[in-house]
Amino acid sequence: MSSDYGFQQLVLLNSAGYERAELPLDESVSLIAPNNTGKTSLINALQYLLIIDKRHLDFGAHDKDKARRFYFPSNSSYILLEVTLPESGSVVLGCVGKGFSYDYNYFAYQGPLQIEEYRLDNGKLVTQPQLLEQLAHHGRTANFYSSTEFAEMVYGGARKRGQTSSEFTVFRLENRKDANAYRQVLTRTLRLDKLSSGEVKRHLLQIFSRQLPDSVVDFKQEWDKAFAEVNQDREQYRAAKNQQTLIDELDRHQEERLAIRGRIIARRPLIDDGLERWQNHYQTESKNLQHQHEKLRKQEADLLERDREQTRRQSELNQQLEALNKDEQRHDELGNRFALIHDRSELEQQLSSATEERNRQIALLSNAHGQSAAAIDDLIRREEEELSALGKEQETLSDNLYLTLKQHISKDRLSVLNRGLARQLLTLPPGDYQLDPNQLHRWLEGMAADRFELPGLNLSVADQPLQYQQRSNEEIIRLIDDCQSRLRQLQEQKTATQELDTQKKRRAKLEQEVKSLEKDLEQFDELTQLQNSRPDRLKEIATARQELAKIEHAQEQAGAQQQALREQIQEVANQRQALDAAHQEIDRIRQNRGDTDEQFNWLADLPHTPWVGDPELPLGQLAQTLRDYQRDCYRLKELDRDLDHRRINLHSGGLTKFQYAPNPEEEIRLMVEFRHHLAREAEALEKKARSAVVTVTASLRDLRGNLQSFENAMHEFNRLISRRKLSDLKVFRIQPVHESHLVEAIDLLIQTAEKVESGESFELFNQSSVLDDRQLDQARQLLIDEGSARHGLKVADLFRLTFELGKENQDVESFDDIDSAASNGTVLMAKLVTGLAMLHLMQDKTRNVQALCYLDEALALDAANQRSLIKTASEFGFALMFASPSPLITAHYCVPIQQMSNGKNHISRKHWQILQPLEAVEA
């Protein structure tokens, strides 16, 4: 089935040993020439225009450099292809040698292809430098392209500026991504003998890769990824389970920490306020107590002073009483003693008697003592004289000289007489004297006052005593008594002198007696005085006793008072001591209250358990609260360290999953929560393990699905290539055969996953059975090993292609290698059909542009097969060219290659032979 669009002709000028070659391409061609002439090299020239990419050019035994020299020996060597395209009509795609280093250049322009246009006026071929100008000269707008641009252009990619879309697009593919694969298959269709089973498989995969998302499954990675979490979780689960007790302790400590934090937060302002209040309280109270103390001290001192005063008074009173009592006693004593004495005079009488007695005795003794008896007698005589004188005086008392004189003379004259006359004369009684008062008077007048003159005698009486004193009778009696007493004394003296010792003793006794009496008198006076003072004294005693009693009572009371005071003082002292002690304690704790660390300032921002204690802090509880608070602060710090330590220990024990919590506290919370939900965790872990199986098999399912899709595609493909009978084959298909160990492993995993997913055997699949299932594990290991050996599992790894051939009446046979499947011709056919089918699949089937395929060594096929092939190729959109030493009559054209005398090959359109069935010609 020829097309209106497609390859028209291939022209070689000055290339591949051809001076000029014109080859029709719009129908099947039989290219005829002996061996080693240039059939293959002619067809290969098309590679430059269709394969383009130097890497994919394939000239069999000839290397690419050699080929370049062969195809582009000069800058006027041309390979030209004329194609008719639905969009732009005839186009010419060309390749021209550059002349140096056998390089070449692509160019293209709107056709048709006129060989004459390449010839200069001088008959020579135009060279590359002049080509565009030359073509332009013929009205062709040609451009040079780099190989990349050219390829893009030919396969419908980018275009040059000024170019319309698809202007030069020969091959429009359903998917532009297939360009590479297409070119490779195309290369092979030009050299079918080289098409191997492996390549068929590769190309088919490439072709179907559109339907098979290019999935390479790194099963190990997938597995590890899917189970990474499960394994990690399981490790964490185990770590938590093994460390349950430690976590419980952690929990307890954390709870304690939260509670302590709450308490500290609540108490801190209370304590600050309490401390301030305490300071005031302490100062006030301290002053108060001190004041009280001083007051009591003063009271005590006063009391003591009073006491001392009382004691002093007491002793004074006692002394007084003692004295009074003594007096009383004395009184009694003296009373008794003088009971019989009624009057003092009695005693006085006794005393004076005794005194007299004694004096007499003294006198007696003193007289006796100092005078001799004769002297005493003399004295006695004198006394007797005196006594007689006195007696006379007494007798003349009423009338004596003196008295008479006194009557007659002046006092002064009397005095002189009194001094000059003896006493006895003056007392003479009237009878014994005669007086002439005148005479006397006269006489006396002539006498000096102090002189007593007698005729012839003048006496000084100035110093003479008065001889006579006028005395009363009583006086005289007294004097007589005295005189008599003196006489008696003298008598006694006289006797005493005669008995002196006795008298002395008597004197002592008498003295004693006097003394005793004096004393008695004295004592009596005393008694009298005591008696007189007694009422006062008794009153005094009573008063003193009263006062004493009062003092005693007062002292007793003072004692009690003192005791009370002492107790009060002690009490105040105790209070002060207690207050000071409390203050010291509070101060001590305050200095070291333990909440100075930075963390205490933002404690409220940290997690804590609100404290529900008393919101008031009475001062009485301050110290205790402060102590508790301080203990809390230290405990908190201890807990901080402790909890960190425990947390780190849990890390060491493997529980690390919460390490990336925003803060350690959160981590602890999560750890504890985790521990409490271990049972749930176990369940979740199991679910996760199952879902990991499901996840891990998802990629396998994809792979498995892709395998299925590929199988479906192959089914389609086989239908395509079986449309026409190949040779004598009843069956020809390319069959994907599973790499069963891999596919079975995949299926096992998928089935497990399905069971798990459907939950149908929930009980059976506990976590360990999923993770530890032996078969599953083998499957997993196989997939991992195979995957790592192949750098990931691909669909291609899951099957190999076998070629199944079956002749009529024979069993279908499978072959891994197509080359060994049948005879050369049959194999060639099979390959060609396969290649064309592949190209066909890639092409845009809505655009019918016929290309070319080439069958070398075509003589291996019989005519029926030739026809069948031509038809098949045509159906796939290709004109088929056979090359053989002798002509094949099944082709439309027969084109012989002419060998010139200059050794160059030559094909001219004049030598083309068109073969037609007779009927057609006749018609």
DSSP 855-896: ESSGGGS-HHHHHHHHHHHHHHTEEEEEEESS--TTSSEEEE
Antiparallel, parallel or unpaired: β 5-15 and 78-85: antiparallel
| Shortest Å distance, C-beta 142 to ligand ATP | 26
Selection from ligand ATP, Mg ion, none that 534 binds (CB < 5 to 8 A by kind) is: none
**Partner whose binding site includes residue 37, from Mg ion, ligand ATP, none (CB under 5 to 8 Å by kind):** ligand ATP
Report phi then psi at 794, rounded to 5: -120, 170
Q: Which long-range contacts (CB under 8 A, 24 or more apart) does 302-307 make?
A: 303/558, 303/561, 303/562, 303/565, 304/562, 306/554, 306/558, 307/555, 307/558, 307/562
Mask: binding to Mg ion, 731-770, rule CB under 5 A, as x and -?
----------------------------------------
Which range of residues in 63-71, 77-85, 561-569, 692-700 is near ligand ATP by CB under 6 A? 63-71
56 binding ligand ATP? (CB under 6 A): no
Stretch that binds Mg ion, among 33-41, 532-540, 767-775, 860-868 (CB under 5 A): 33-41
Is 4 in contact with 84 (CB distance < 8 Å)? yes
Minimum CB distance to ligand ATP smaller for 62 or for 344: 62
Q: Among residues 56, 62, 451, 534, which is the contact residue for ligand ATP, using CB under 6 A?
A: 62
Tell me the C-alpha to C-alpha distance, in Å, between residue 270 and each of 267, 362, 622: 5, 114, 9
Q: Kindly state whether residue 39 participates in binding ligand ATP, applying the rule CB under 6 A.
A: yes
Footprint (CB under 6 A) of ligand ATP, residues 675-704? none
Site for ligand ATP in 9-28 (CB under 6 A): 17
- Binding partner of 70, given ligand ATP, Mg ion, none, CB within 5-8 angstroms per partner class: ligand ATP
Report the residue from 40, 169, 189, 874 that binds Mg ion according to the rule CB under 5 A: 40
Q: Token pair of 580, please?
A: 């000071």
Closest approach of Cβ 27 to ligand ATP, in Å?
Answer: 21
* Two structure tokens written together for 42: 């002619």
41 binds ligand ATP (CB under 6 A): yes
DSSP reduced 3-state for 637: helix
The residue within the footprint of ligand ATP, chosen from 14, 15, 28, 40 (CB under 6 A), is 40
Q: Which stretch binds ligand ATP (CB under 6 A): 35-43, 97-105, 175-183, 315-323?
A: 35-43
54 near ligand ATP, judged by CB under 6 A:
no
Q: Which residue is nearest to Mg ion (CB)?
A: 40
Examine residue 59 and tell whether it contacts ligand ATP (CB under 6 A).
Answer: yes
CB of 73 to ligand ATP, least distance (A): 10
Both tokens assigned to 368: 């006796």
Stretch that binds ligand ATP, among 61-69, 215-223, 327-335, 664-672 (CB under 6 A): 61-69
Cβ closest to ligand ATP, residue 35 vs residue 164: 35
Q: Which helix (H) or strand (E) holds 807?
A: strand 799-807
* Amino acid residing at 581: A
* Secondary structure tally for the chain: helices H, strands E: 25, 18
Stretch that binds Mg ion, among 38-46, 121-129, 293-301, 783-791 (CB under 5 A): 38-46
Nearer CB in complex with ligand ATP: 162/903: 903
Instruction: Give the one entry of Mg ion, ligand ATP, none that residue 596 binds, where binding means its C-beta sits below a cut-off of 5 to 8 angstroms depending on kind.
Output: none
Element (H, E) at 10: strand 5-15
Which of Mg ion, ligand ATP, none lies near 97, with the C-beta cut-off 5 to 8 A by kind? Answer: none
**What is the rounded CA–CA span in Å between residue 358 and residue 509?**
8
Shortest distance, position 832 Cβ to ligand ATP, whole Å: 17
Tokens read off for 307: 């006491």
Burial code of 425-460, b = ≥16 C-beta within 10 A, e = fewer? bbbbeeeeeeeeeeeeeeebeebeeeebeeeeeeee
Residue 37 binds Mg ion (CB under 5 A): no
Q: Which amino acid would we find at residue 350?
A: Q
Beta-sheet pairing, 878-884 with 29-32: parallel
Q: Backbone dihedral region of 759: left (phi > 0), alpha (psi from -120 to 50 degrees) or beta?
A: left
Distances (CA, A) of 333 to 345, 347, 532, 540: 21, 18, 15, 20
Q: Which is nearer to ligand ATP, 97 or 736 (CB)?
A: 97
Per CB under 6 A, the list member of 6, 38, 420, 877 interacting with ligand ATP is: 38
With CB under 5 to 8 Å by kind, the binding choice for 67 among ligand ATP, Mg ion, none is ligand ATP
Q: Which of residues 66-125 bind ligand ATP (CB under 6 A)?
A: 66-67, 70
Closest by CA to 714, choosing from 730, 729, 732, 736, is: 736
Per-residue CA distances from 497 to 368, 370, 377, 466, 492 (Å)? 4, 9, 12, 36, 8
**SS3 letters for 107-168?**
EEEECCCCHHHHECCCCCECCHHHHHHHHHHCCCCCEEECHHHHHHHHCCCCCCCCCCCCCC
Q: Binding of ligand ATP at residue 865 (CB under 6 A)?
A: no
Question: Nearer to Mg ion by C-beta: 819 or 857?
Answer: 857
264 vs 773: CA distance, rounded Å: 56
Range in contact with ligand ATP (rule: CB under 6 A) among 58-66, 126-134, 344-352, 563-571: 58-66
Least CB distance from residue 67 to ligand ATP, whole Å? 4
- C-beta of 40 vs 489, nearer to Mg ion: 40
Options 23, 25, 29, 33; binder of ligand ATP; rule CB under 6 A: 33
Tell whether residue 472 is a contact of ligand ATP (CB under 6 A): no
Closer residue to ligand ATP (CB): 649 or 908: 908
Of 1-9, 37-45, 588-596, 759-767, the segment contacting ligand ATP by CB under 6 A is 37-45
- Contacting range for Mg ion; rule: CB under 5 A; set: 31-39, 487-495, 632-640, 896-904: 31-39
Amino acid at 57: L
The Cα–Cα gap between 412 and 409 comes to 8
Total number of residues binding Mg ion (CB under 5 A)?
2
Q: Which two tokens stand for residue 754?
A: 């399905």
| Shortest Cβ 862–ligand ATP spacing (Å) | 19
Part in contact with ligand ATP (CB under 6 A); list of ranges 47-55, 62-70, 576-584, 911-919? 62-70
112 upstream amide cis, omega within 30 of 0: yes
CA distances to 70, 663, 905, 907 from 420, rounded to whole Å, are: 233, 163, 245, 247
Cα 355 from Cα 347, distance rounded (Å): 12
| Residue 396 interacting partner from ligand ATP, Mg ion, none (CB closer than 5 to 8 Å by kind) | none
Chain residues 99-118 in contact with Mg ion, contact rule CB under 5 A: none
Instruction: Name the minimum Å distance from CB 44 to ligand ATP.
Output: 6
| Binding partner of residue 62 among Mg ion, ligand ATP, none, CB cut-off 5 to 8 Å per kind | ligand ATP
Give the residues lining the site for ligand ATP (CB under 6 A). Answer: 17, 33, 35-41, 59, 62, 66-67, 70
Give the residues lining the site for Mg ion (CB under 5 A). Answer: 39-40
